[in-house]
Amino acid sequence: MGKVDKGVECNVEGCRNKALRSVSFKNASEAGLKLNGESRRAYLCEAHYREFKKARRSNR
């Protein structure tokens, strides 16, 4: 997890919000988020980051 540089967009498909957080790509897809492309990091906007955290919590 970490902070993100300014101007980076959320990697979730169809989302054009500014990314605020980065998580590992694997964790994000495991949380059920549809991501553009593929890389080691996934950049998430605030809304999708919240969704990500929620999904992670309900998985445990």
**Applying CB under 5 A, what is the total number of residues that bind Zn ion?**
6
CA distance 3 to 5: 7
Nearer to Zn ion, 10 or 23 (CB): 10
Kindly state whether residue 10 participates in binding Zn ion, applying the rule CB under 5 A: yes
* Stretch touching Zn ion by CB under 5 A, among 5-13, 20-28, 29-37, 51-59: 5-13
Contact 51, 31 (CB under 8 A): yes
Interface residues with Zn ion (CB under 5 A) are 10, 12, 15, 17, 45, 48
